[in-house]
Structure 1
């Protein structure tokens, strides 16, 4: 997929490191007075240059940044646009800006992909990850944001404050704005972190006015004329430039100078009229025709003005100093000074009523023809062509969805009038898909309901009806419901050679999900082998990653661990390649791979993958992903002695389950909580928790069975702890028999291991050994020894006896040796990695601000338990016991981190 559907500013192309600011600005003087002032203050965390239009804010910023760049700083220049008033576009533009100047531009590629997939859930994480990247950058890094006044959205303001509050020592931000930014500047000033330049400082003094008019522009003016112009313009740079243009062609400068009075915009209007009235008619027409666009290139200018020499015409405008500024060093794209553009548009409306609409239509056509859809839509709407704008969005809607650009699509749709999509089934379908894949179930269902009402019931719309059924089934599956999903996708599967590959691929995944929970594991795997050709032809990673994950779950369910590993590693690789290393797809697949690593006994890798999978929040994907991210990670943390962290993780999982209405997740985290309470001797509390577990009474058959199995295993744990071992054993035997009947090999093994533990706890040692032996053999042979180790102390005791007996008999088995090694090390926690990461430095910085764990989690966009995981490592590395002792280390830790390779 191309990126043309985004607001692809001309500077969005990948470029080598360096200062990629605006092109050279003609006829400016060096603002040495002000650059010296900025140098004395130094590049503080925030420098704000604010004044009304035409005071030379951008020129000053560029001159100072060029000096910083010459001294070794990396400078990223971001010219803001009206689109940047939305968090999604702002983050997209920000990441693209940083990407252009990094030595390794791919360092932020995965973040660009990530914010397309679920902006609300990933903004804080994205900003924190960006800070981590910038903190690791060698040397100073300056981020310049030009025209900040275009940003009104409080969420964008919060994003900037996130960057400023948590900025590493090497990061400085420079803002230019027409007004004083609505940011907590006083707090920054008190901390010595702010430099502020306003209009009073920016005004040309008499010396600068003379240098500009006489020495730079070569005007023959006396001292009194210069003083009169300086006083009349009040040092307003734009007015002085207009005055210089007017004075070039007059034989009576004194009369012209005396002819205007008043200040600011009245001066500008007067002088602009003089400048434009003196131009040839074709150049004036070019100026007016091109004024409707925020940015211009030669081809666009020619299309607007109806002339073949657009590039040459722009060059002439620039040579005449008509406020045209290059946006890129290649001098491909330009824009007018804001003040001049506003005047041109007013004059266009005055002199040529109605012409602006036609010019906007031409601009829309040109942008659409060059794949710049967002700008094409903006100009179509400005021309009053709602149908044309809607056509453009509809044309690109499904390609955006299939390539995981759901947020971009919904952003384009929000530009349209609220009812523009009514009666457009294909656009409504794309909106339903986008919301469904972002797991906004209410919005997806609403779009689907509108779509069904708009779809005629006839053969011509048969495929759209089938696709709507697949969307509905997808919504159901995210809600962990399978009662109607198979029926909904059947027609799309039956007509796989006719329907679009995307629809067939998703339908196959939904059918596989239903097969999983009906214990048709081989059918699920076969379905995915059949569907691979559709995954490969469907756009984007979504269908392929889910398909491989479902095949992996099916393989694990029958303890084909090697087969599951092939599928899950393939899923992770595909997600990282097509959606980014930090994408939701990669983290969902990573959670399942973490579960597999846990079964293999690879605890360090399992924990790493599971912690990473929760960084964006674990409440996404189907329930199977969430169970791994909440229940399994909590089990691992509890085994390492972090009982409080495990309990909080399980409580968070329960809250998610209740909010989203997911009984299977509620049962899984509840059962894990009960196991942990029993292990800690809190039997009465475990009994109360067991009574609160959901049942499968009102659920689908397959889902109901999983809920009841989790509930039954938890009740057995409580019964055994209460001394009711016969009842506990009978319950587990019944559950294991049902799992065996259904072909749930993994579940049967887990239940059998539990049963062995109950028998051992009741001092029925021979029965425990007879029960565990086949399960032990099965788990070890499959390469999943952790199934046995998770049984707890009693099960380990049985396993040790069985192992000793095997050794006495002289039998040898590499898999058994692996289990022996795990039994011998007792499941020791993995060794901590050397050194602190930039992310951990960021957490140290937040500790220094007095943030508690929940505030840190919110700032980073991760869970509280993820923060605790980081803190544990930080304390260990620094050799401290708590946050108070850790805070003084934050600067030296960051320095060491930023110097590491």
Structure 2
């Protein structure tokens, strides 16, 4: 979110000045003694330079970094500010610093930065781990430098740094400067030989360094005793010696000054600073005081604060006079004061001109606001004591943050304000409700919305309608549709009266309600109608959701080509506008992954589902989470990663329980039953089925979906227990109901399950008719995985249908080509037929293994199937051959010429 650039003004590059080490100034000496020590310790994991203000910490760090940089290392610098006391801001700025040295990783780092905006609490560890991978892949050593670490007291930020240190690749080291010893596991690093610690005692100038600094560098005419006295009187304090050099430069009686300050003043630094400032021209002193309110300065900002037109010239003169002003870039456009000097200037400003402090902060706030830098503008407004002004600024930008998916940034700014600052501001409360809702913080979203309704001015229909849309959004995230349609109706009836964002989200909610009420065509038409409103929103979040919902509606009717177009568009839009790993991109990836799975593109599906689940699949409506947990677990199980699949299902069940999502709980349970039955654990599957919820706690299509999952799962268990008739009855009812409602995908899936039950009940003709009736749409839309998921019993039916198609004896309707049917199996079906025996290729393959004495376990391993699957095939083989065991089966097969 960036405001238009003000005419004639220098707009700063947001926080880029934090990523540049202060440039060299001419009045510093090379700290050879300390640099030798750092060189001797070699490539250390952590260098900590800590001492009070004015001891030359940053100067030493910069000198060391210039050395390692000249040796080929990549140096990333982050100058810390107070706002880095939040993980969101700290990680964002850390990524910005790394971006300066890893330009080839720009896209990945941008994706991580966008990811942080979704929910820093959930993504911190992932972001850090991915960042370490990128740093480890660098072709050179990398040094991360954090200047002013003492500003950080947030525990989560400390944990982030500890994570970097604990898991750092071999080419990464860290340098910290701090006014106090950092609260980090330093002893642990010291024991490992990974720590170099330089404190105030080491940083003090010794006598030789004091002489070099005062006499050789600053050109002062001092005798040996004078240097020794100054060194002893300042205790080697670098800042005090620099103040001495400034004080003595134009001093009429140097000896008196040297004698005067030593030992007689409470603070040597205060005394020397006063001495330096009092010697300045009045206008220059005033410029120092007025500009001290800002952490960083450019010429235009200095002009704004001083009321002068020559702000850049003032800064350059202050730098020439060595008044502790450090350039932050090589162009010398941006500067900051040394912290020690800035602290003193601010104290003097408050002492001598208390009435000007608030005025100056307000000027700074105005300047940063015009530059589009809301965080700085808010900070200065608060420093001025103008809570109302700060709240105005947050309110002004709040919805732009939401529409650009920067919800965490908005809530971070809100945390800077008093907790009651927004209570009488409906528009700000609206944005806070949106932000919390889209981050799925239901309680916080509802609290903001309830407070908003009490603060709404009477008769403000537009705000009431938008509040209804927020409430509907909260509802669908909680998988409730009973009142959502009514809540969004007014936003859709007169769409031109509302912001495009409100209409776009309202249309998405209505689409969700439509496809759960089996109004599939209306759902797809709704998104065609909504496209102009999506295109007019300032961010892509609503548009991505809309395309996903259109895709889900199309999938429900097995209009798979249309669904793929919608979902591919959603993924591309999300990645291009919000980033590869953004919240929106992960949601779209989940649904596109499901579509790829249906089309048998398992590798592509797995990549997308893994991408969706990298940070946990706990986001979006239930459709997204079901793909991220249940379908992803199915893919992992089919890959043989059974334990990992079980962990995914357990995680999904915990999410469902915590969020109160009954449909997700049912979907997770249904997939667990499938995997238990595949493993032959029928009793465990029965127990899970008994614990599945019913739809009585939900409304309409949501309730029907829950009941469908429960009933189909129970049918699977009944069939595994041998009650094929009971299972078939349940499934026949479900297929009939879904067919009547136009739920084509669900009817096809259930028909495949029914055909499998009929096959296991030895109702071979019924199984063939059931499956043949479902295959037309499956083959037309190229979704073979629907059939493949039916397992070996359905596979056997398909193999017989291939034979029927070749023989021209197709059981119902028009016969497909045999080659089309073979795509359902992924291989060509070889059949061996005699007068009385009809074995499929797979059955013949197993029979040959029996002939050479393979055990069931050996056959299962050879075919990459479970032992239970082998047993099922054996049952079919025995039935066809009229045999009672494997020995009889081999004997009969030989008589029929099926075995050599």
Task: Give the TM-score normalised by structure 2.
Answer: 0.89
Q: Does 1:147 align with 2:152?
A: no
User: CA shift at 1:563, angstroms?
Assistant: 0.8
Distance across 1 between alignment mates of 2:300 and 2:579 = 35
1:759-778 aligned at under 5 Å gives the runs 759-778=758-777
The answer to whether the aligner puts 1:705 opposite 2:685 as a matched pair is: no
Indicate whether 1:438 and 2:439 are aligned.
Answer: yes
1:277 aligned onto 2:278: yes
CA distance in 2 between counterparts of 1:262 and 1:407 reads 52
Structure 2: distance between partners of 1:350 and 1:553: 66
Change (3 A) 1:547 1:333: same
| Structure 2 residue 821 is the aligned partner of structure 1 residue 816 | yes
Equivalent pair of 1:80/1:145 in contact (CA under 8 Å):
yes
Residue-by-residue CA offset, 1:497-519 (whole Å, 9 max, x unaligned):
12110000000000000001001
**Count of equivalent residues:** 821
Name the residue aligned to 1:73: 73
1:342 counterpart residue number: 343
8 A contact 1:4–1:372 mirrored in 2: no
Identify the residue that residue 2 of structure 1 maps to in structure 2: 2
Task: Give how far 1:169 is off.
Answer: 1.1
Give 3-state SS (helix, strand or coil) of 1:691's partner.
helix
* 563-572 vs 294-303, greater mean Cα deviation: 294-303
> What is the alpha-carbon distance in structure 2 between the residues aligned to residue 495 and residue 707 of structure 1?
34
- What's the C-alpha RMSD, in Å, of the aligned pairs? 2.0
Q: Which residue of 1 aligns with 2:887?
A: none
The CA deviation string for residues 447-477 of structure 1, in whole angstroms up to 9 with x for no partner, is 000000001231xx11110000000000000
Q: Superposed, which structure 2 residues align to 1:443-842 within 5 Å?
A: 443-458=444-459, 461-809=460-808, 812=817, 815-821=820-826
Q: Structure 2 unaligned runs (5+)?
A: 809-814, 831-839, 843-900
Residue deviations 1:512-571, cap 9 Å, x none? 000010011111000001111111111211111110101111111111111111111100
Q: CA deviation at 1:230?
A: 0.7
Q: Retained in 2: the 8 A contact 1:11–1:328? A: no
Q: Distance in 2 between matches of 1:573 and 1:292?
A: 45
2:805–2:818 Cα contact (<8 Å) kept: no
CA-CA distance at 1:13 after TM superposition? 7.0
Q: Which has the higher contact order (CA 8 A, sep 6+)?
A: 1
Give 3-state SS (helix, strand or coil) of 1:354's partner.
helix
Contact 2:296 2:335 in 1 (8 A): yes
1:75-121: per-residue Cα shift (whole Å, max 9, x none)?
Answer: 11111111111111111111111112223233311111111111111
In structure 2, the partner of 1:400 is 401
**Mapped partners of 1:423, 1:46: distance in 2:** 49
Secondary structure of 2:47's counterpart equals strand
Residue in structure 2 matched with residue 48 of structure 1 by the alignment: 48
In 1, are the aligned partners of 2:46 and 2:195 still within 8 Å (CA)? yes
User: 8 Å contact 1:422–1:454 — kept in the other structure?
Assistant: yes
1:779 positional shift: 1.1
Aligned to 1:261: 262
CA 142–413 in structure 1, closer or farther in 2 if over 3 Å, else same: same
Report the Cα offset of residue 338 of structure 1: 0.6
Structure 1 pair 811–365 and aligned structure 2 pair: CA distance change class (3 A): closer
How far apart are residue 705 of structure 1 and its match? 0.3
Question: Contact (CA 8 Å) 1:239, 1:268: kept in 2 or not?
Answer: yes
List aligned pairs for 1:150-549, cutoff 5 A: 150-262=151-263, 266-458=267-459, 461-549=460-548
C-alpha deviations, 1:42-97, integer Å up to 9, x for none?
23111111111100000000011011111111111111111111111111111111
Residue 630 to residue 822, structure 1, CA distance change in 2 (3 Å): farther
Q: Does 1:63 align with 2:63?
A: yes
Counterpart contact for 1:553–1:564, Cα < 8 Å: yes
Give yes or no for contact 2:633–2:649 (8 Å, CA) kept in 1: yes
Q: Distance in 1 between matches of 2:120 and 2:402?
A: 15
1:858-892 C-alpha deviation (Å, 9 max, x unpaired): xxxxxxxxxxxxxxxxxxxxxxxxxxxxxxxxxxx
| Contact 2:76–2:144 under 8 Å retained in 1 | yes
Q: Distance in 1 between matches of 2:71 and 2:603?
A: 44
Distance 2:91 2:193 in 1: 27
Contact 1:74–1:140 (Cα < 8 Å) also in 2: yes
Between 519-528 and 134-143, report the one with greater CA deviation.
Answer: 134-143
In the aligned structure 2, how far is the partner of 1:221 from the partner of 1:409? Answer: 57
Distance of aligned partners of 1:520 and 1:822 in 2 relative to their CA distance in 1, 3 Å threshold? farther
State the 1:19 CA deviation: 9.1
Deviation of the 1:818 alpha carbon: 2.5
Residue in structure 1 matched with residue 102 of structure 2 by the alignment: 102
SS at match of 2:23: coil
Match of 1:88 in 2: 88
Query: Does the 8 A contact of 2:822 with 2:828 survive in 1?
Result: no
Contact in 1 for aligned 2:590/2:628 (Cα 8 Å):
yes
Contact between 1:796 and 1:823, CA under 8 Å: does it hold in 2? no
Deviation at 1:265, TM superposition (A): 7.1
Report the secondary structure of 1:621's partner residue. Answer: coil
Shift of 1:4: 9.4
Alpha-carbon distance in structure 1 between the residues aligned to 2:254 and 2:144: 43
Contact 2:795 2:825 in 1 (8 A): no
CA contact (8 A) 1:803 1:820 kept: no
Moved beyond 6 Å, runs of 4+: 823-826
Contact 2:634 2:671 in 1 (8 A): yes
How far did residue 331 of structure 1 move?
Answer: 1.4
The equivalences for 1:850-889 within 5 A come to none
Q: Distance in 2 between matches of 1:193 and 1:4?
A: 48
Secondary structure in structure 2 of the residue aligned to 1:419: coil
Q: CA 1:189/1:393 → structure 2, altered by over 3 Å: closer, same or farther? A: same
Aligned to 1:888: none
| Kept in 1: contact 2:265–2:271 (CA 8 A) | no
Contact 2:802–2:829 (8 Å) recurs in 1:
no
Q: Which has the larger radius of gyration?
A: 2
Per the TM alignment, residue 817 of structure 1 is displaced from its structure 2 partner at its CA by 4.2
- Alpha-carbon distance change, 203 to 264 in structure 1, aligned in 2, over 3 angstroms: farther
Comparing 806-815 with 433-442, which one deviates more in the overlay? 806-815
Distance 1:657 1:616, change over 3 A: same
TM-score by length of 1: 0.89
> Counterpart of 1:697 in 2: which secondary structure?
helix
CA separation in 2, counterparts of 1:262 and 1:659?
66
